[in-house]
Chains A and B, each alone.
Chain A
Amino acid sequence: MKESGHIPAINFIYAIIPALILFFIMTGDGNATPSAFEDDTSLVANPFEVADSLAAVYRVTDPATSYRMLINRAEWAEMQRNYDKAIGFYEQAFVIRPHEQLPRKRIKNIETKRGQPEIWFLLIPVDFEKSTALIQILVLVIIYSIISMIILLVFILMHRNKLQIQDRQRQELKEKYQALLMDYLFGEEDDSQVPERIEKIAGNDFKRVLLMEEMRDLIVNLSGDAAEKLRGLYYRLSLDVDSRIKAQSRKWHVKIKGFRELAFMNIKDANNEIIKSLHSSNSILRMEAQLALVRLNDHDRFGFLDHLQRPFTPWEQLNVHEMIVGYDLEVPRFERWLDSANHTVVLFALRMIRVFNQKGSWQKVADLLDNEDEEIRRTAIIVLGQLHIKEAVHSLKHHYKNEIYENQLEIIIALGRIGEERTINFLVMVIDKEEDVQLQIAAARALRDMGESGERALEKLMGSDYKNYKIIIRHVLDKRI
């Protein structure tokens, strides 16, 4: 199988070439084509403004020029639908050069045109050809394109060098700072004094940023005295002021840096700045604010969930979960948020109940089987199944009939997981009565997962003459699938 699909867009850019050419030749008339490059450009704009009478024409002694000027005027008049005037100009042109066929042909055209119904778009007076402005624009675009190409080329090559130098420099400095910080943290130096070398580094804006990054990376792996000593250094170098300024920045990406620094350095009194970003429309900023609060708010790490108005996306949920696990944070009882008005918070709470095996909350989870939101109901079914809540079997069976298809499927899977023998008849009935193959397969699989009694029920079905279940049952009994 080959081919990666179309490569659309910007493929036919050069359609412009012939199209423009076509336009300009169409507006011309062979050798008589008036050209914007030729003289008398003042007449090109609007011949009537220049001279409304033929006097200006007759002042020109050269008959070829007079003829051309008259044709110009005639064309303009024709375009303006001033046919009488156009015919007048063509007739004058004919007088000057009687051997030319063009004026007579044009007069004939005008007479034909007059006898026909008008079409609105033909009346739009467009004549780009005579626009000196267009020529100027074209020349400008050419100049711009050439200059931009040269500048871009130089920029690209320089950028490459700059990147390489910067990367090398950053790497070297970071390694140096890491060694310095380690010496400070685990060396003999006095805690109360900031080593001169570190102080000097902090005096340079660029180096200060790198030092901060290094400290942030370092503190993740520190605890106890070493972490406190590093935090002390952070305060003494007034880096906390930098972090707070960043957290107050109007630029979201600077804010995030501030949040991260404050959170990693455990600056508890910075919560107010962070809370403001909880309702930001910028998803990444919102998430960083959530993560910072989880880190900083020891008393109620997940209290922010009470105030979430925007959807708590699976990506945000995943990161909060990652933080709980990664930093071994105390897990709250997530049933607290099962009543949240924000349905995404309810979904998160359900998922966390499942992940952290909070079986004690099963009753509140089961209550959600009556929730209006089908996704909440579905997730509740999954949670009940995965936590093997036997007490929920009756409720699940009860809800089956009135559920939507996707949730019916999940109920069957959940019943299979719970593995209560009293559901065997129900599952057999599903296989027997349902016409949807996926439901039948799920029910058969649920029976299989129940162990011996379920498998016996399947074998019984295999022998049944009523319907041919053999293919489905063979499928589910094949453990390789």
Chain B
Amino acid sequence: MEYIFNIIGWFLRNMVLIITLSIFTAYVLLAIFSALTLRIYLRKNSYIDYNSIILAPLTPSISVIAPAFNESNTIVENVRALLSLYYNNFDVIVVNDGSTDNSLEKIIEAYDLEKVNYFFDYRIPCQRIRGVYKSKNRSFYNLTVIDKINGGKADALNAGINVSHKQLICSIDVDSIMEPDALLKMVKPFLEETDKKVIGTGGVVRIANSCDIQGGQIREVHLPKKFLARVQVLEYTRAFLMGRMAWAKLDGLLLISGALGMFDRETVIKCGGYSIKTVGEDMELVVRMRRYMAEKGEPYEVTYIPDPLCWTEVPSTLKVLARQRNRWTRGTVETLFEHKNIFFRRKYGKFGMLGYPYWFFFEWLAPIIEFFALTFFIIYAIVSSPNWPFVLLLFGFVYTFAVSLSVWAVLFEEMTFHKYERKRDVLKLIGTAFLEPFLFHPLTVAWAIKGNFDYLRGKKGWGKMDREGFWNSTMPGKKKRKFRGKKKEDSSKID
């Protein structure tokens, strides 16, 4: 027994420290790499005129696929905003995923839709399609509505992909707000394709809580008033501007957010579409597509656009946020375990040697290590006497490092897109960075542990997501107001 303790002791004493220092180093390196990449991107971007794409006959065609479940309050306006995106060759496919409210009736009425004789080719599996609708009004010639049996977001996206005949698909959350030029910017990496096939592009998702929204567009950006939403602004800024930018450049990007992603349709179909077995279908698809291309030996690229292209509402209550994080954790574990063969396999290139291991150790394992270490520390502090001066020094070290990392993220935002124009907002954001380690971070660890536990228990499904909703501010005839509408329910797949 003592022999085993020796081994555990060795790991706890040394491996934990090595992992810890690796995390520290990794974040610093990612931040530096991201800063360099962002600088080059912005400089190149300053010479680009996206308007040249709008009328060009050489652009690829795009299907914007928006799955919807019980969105009756907002669906009409959501679709209107999608139809007014800037692009010359696109259609919008709205998938009513077995809504139990009157979403379908509302959209049928608003856009003068009628059922068409559609022959549905199930190239990738999805739940049964009850009908395909097109508008009698030629102004909405590029709108298609699919009515299907409920099967979850992944299933709805698969249905949309089956109906699409365009070269590229752009999957979005129907209640997110896309920047009008989002398609122009996202299609560009596909146009820049050289020897490597571009299979997917991700965009930055920003937080719309407390923003002024009018006519389906963000008119004025404000920092969320609630702490819980504000702290997520910091998280998103760190993740998107400091993390993913670097990973895309390092060719290790494993995730394109479900809120906004553009993919090569044929590659998605060849890979079998979105997986309905996981709650992290967005990450799983990217991993599977990369794996498919690597196994075929075809050079490929997954690219990333740092411009803020999509705005979404984040949970502003602990209950809803806990469900979201729980799901993210389960999605991560499911994907990592499903594709465990990639782990440190040279055949998959940087994706297998760098991207996957990083996720394994730092995204999945880190909160688990943290949880056990913290538990051990608490027990130890109760039964014995730790070396308190050293403990305080370590706390000070990690706290100041973490806060400074957040302040760097704010600087990244300031030097790139500076969406928060008011000085007060910047100061608030930095103030939030000081509170985050105490008030928010312990919760994220707890939610991650719960997610792992639920995964082991075999829990499936998304959980019920309540949102405040911001589309009320966009309804025609209504006065412009800030984003604090009534509660509405949403769930793509009830547990």
Contacts and interface: CB of A to CB of B under 8 A. Distances in A.
Interface in A295-319: 310-311, 313-315, 317-319
Interface string B34-52: 0000000001100110001
Contacts of A313: 191-194
Contacts of B490: 1-2
Interface of B is mostly: helix
Given A14-B437, A17-B395, A478-B116, A2 B467 contact: yes
Contacts of B3: 112, 116
A144 B396 CA distance: 12
B167 to A, nearest CB: 11
A148 B2 contact: no
A10 B52 contact: no
A401 interface: no
B109 interface: no
Nearest to B404: A145
B415 to A, nearest CB: 7
B349 interface: no
Given A1-B156, A12-B366, A152 B57 contact: no
Interface residues of A, number: 91
A4 interface: yes
B23 A13 contact: yes
Nearest to B370: A15
Contacts of B82: none
Contacts of B312: 4
A14 B398 contact: yes
B114 interface: yes
Nearest to A153: B430
B20 A15 contact: yes
A475 B58 contact: no
B3 to A, nearest CB: 5
B84 interface: no
Contacts of A165: none
A113 interface: yes
Interface stretch (A31-39, A216-224, A225-233, A453-461): A31-39
B6 A113 contact: yes
A315 B188 contact: yes
Interface string B114-130: 10111101010000000
A439 to B, nearest CB: 11
B117 to A, nearest CB: 4
B166 to A, nearest CB: 14
Contact of A119 (B7, B71, B445, B465): B7
Interface string A12-37: 11111111111111111011010111
A317 B407 CA distance: 42
Interface string B241-284: 01110010000001111111000001000000000000010110
Contacts of A7: 232, 235-236, 239-240, 328
Interface string A428-461: 0000000001100100000000000000000000
A472 B119 contact: yes
Interface in B403-456: 403-405, 407-408, 410-411, 414-415, 418, 423, 426, 430, 437, 441, 444-445, 448
Contacts of A351: 57-58
A319 B71 CA distance: 40
A4 B10 contact: no
Q: Contact size class for B?
A: 35 or more
Nearest to A27: B13
Interface string B379-417: 010001111011101111111111111011011001100
Interface in A114-155: 116, 119, 121-122, 124, 126, 128, 135, 138-139, 141-142, 144-146, 148-149, 152-153, 155
A355 B394 CA distance: 66
B85 to A, nearest CB: 18
Interface stretch (B169-177, B213-221, B340-348): B169-177
A391 B420 CA distance: 61
A477 B465 CA distance: 42
A314 B191 contact: yes
Interface string B157-182: 00000000000000001111000000
B134 A2 contact: no
A5 interface: yes
Interface in B47-93: 47-48, 52-53, 56-59, 66-69, 71
Interface of A: 1-28, 30-31, 33, 35-37, 109, 112-113, 116, 119, 121-122, 124, 126, 128, 135, 138-139, 141-142, 144-146, 148-149, 152-153, 155-157, 159-160, 163, 253, 256, 283-284, 288, 310-311, 313-315, 317-319, 321-322, 351, 355, 406, 437-438, 441, 471-472, 474-475, 477-478, 480-481
Interface of B: 2-3, 6-7, 9-10, 12-14, 16-17, 19-20, 23-24, 27, 30, 43-44, 47-48, 52-53, 56-59, 66-69, 71, 97, 114, 116-119, 121, 123, 132, 134, 136, 153, 156, 173-176, 188, 190-195, 205, 232, 235-236, 238-240, 242-244, 247, 254-260, 266, 280, 282-283, 310, 312, 314, 324, 327-328, 331-332, 359, 362-363, 366-367, 369-370, 373-374, 376-377, 380, 384-387, 389-391, 393-405, 407-408, 410-411, 414-415, 418, 423, 426, 430, 437, 441, 444-445, 448, 462, 465, 467, 490, 492
12 contacts: A2-B175, A3-B173, A4-B205, A8-B239, A14-B398, A23-B17, A24-B387, A35-B387, A142-B396, A160-B423, A318-B58, A355-B58
Given A5-B205, A7-B235, 18 more contacts: A1-B69, A1-B174, A3-B173, A3-B327, A4-B258, A5-B255, A5-B256, A8-B239, A11-B238, A15-B20, A17-B374, A19-B19, A24-B390, A109-B2, A135-B393, A141-B397, A144-B404, A481-B134
